[in-house]
Amino acid sequence: MERLIIVGAGDFGREVLSWVMDVPESARTWKIAGFLDDRPQILDGYNLPYGILGAPKSYSLHPDDRMVVAIGEPKARRKYVDILEHRNAHFTSIIHPSVVLGLKNKWGPGCIFCPGVVITTNVRIGNHVILNCHSGAGHDAVIGNFCTLSGGVDITGHVTLEEEVFLGSHATVLPHSTVGKGAFVGAGSVVMRHVKANTKVFGIPALPIGEAEN
């Protein structure tokens, strides 16, 4: 059986552990092994059933290891994926049992679909994408590699998110809009038109307030 390893033992990593523990034993193709993190003491005081196995750069990989990177910030997540890919690590996706999946959807490795996520139909999702609790993607949406949808985000039909987009909690992107690579959409914002790459937007309607952090 494969060994599931969560990369990143911070706040979101501990949440992801909860979600993978919700997967019924009969539906698992893996057993939970633990975390990788550069901070060996980060789980002190939490009394979790799984601990830190090592650091991403130095952990001795096993042939049956399957990784998922539980780091919310897109560029940081990409950094650790690159480190592990360089070491020939393998990745898997985590889908909580409560997720609703329609017909003809596709997604790549390393994705995390948290409780209450709804993905309707003909949605294309890239690699290492996070859809946090109660977020959703409407028909024919395209979500690029390393995007993060925070809790309650609503991606409507025919929306395109380019790579490394971050959407704050309860943000909405209206139909046929495009959000450029590396853009940051603030919590509660409503995107009614296109957002340029590496731009931070906020409000209703979402308007530029600066450059997204690199």
**What band does 213 get if pLDDT is binned at 50, 70 and 90?**
confident
Structural domains of the chain, ranges and CATH numbers in brackets: 2-92 (3.40.50.20), 95-203 (2.160.10.10)
Residues 124-144 have pLDDT tens digits of 999 999 999 999 999 999 999
Alpha-carbon Rg for the chain, nearest whole angstrom, is: 17
The reply to whether omega before 205 is within 30° of 0 (cis) is yes
d(CA 202, CA 161): 16
What average pLDDT score do residues 24-39 get? 96
Which of 128, 182, 120, 188 has the alpha carbon at shortest distance from 156?
A: 120
- As a whole-number percent, the residues of the chain with pLDDT over 90 amount to 98
Q: Which residues pair with 4 in a beta bridge?
A: 32, 66
Q: Which residues pair with 32 in a beta bridge?
A: 4
d(CA 9, CA 64): 20
**What band does 214 get if pLDDT is binned at 50, 70 and 90?**
low
**pLDDT exceeds cutoff 80 at 34:** yes
Rounded to 5°, angle at Cα 46 from 41 and 49 = 95
Q: Whole-model pTM?
A: 0.97
What average pLDDT score do residues 63-91 get? 97
**pLDDT exceeds cutoff 70 at 172:** yes
Query: In 3-state terms, what secondary structure has residue 127?
Result: coil
Q: Is 187 exposed, middle or buried (0-12, 13-18, 19+ CB in 10 A)?
A: middle
What average pLDDT score do residues 86-96 get? 97
- How far, rounded to the nearest angstrom, does the alpha carbon of residue 32 sit from its chain's CA centroid? 19
pLDDT averaged over every residue in the chain: 97
**pLDDT exceeds cutoff 90 at 123:** yes
- Is residue 61 within 8 A of residue 3, CB to CB? The reply is no
What average pLDDT score do residues 79-87 get? 97
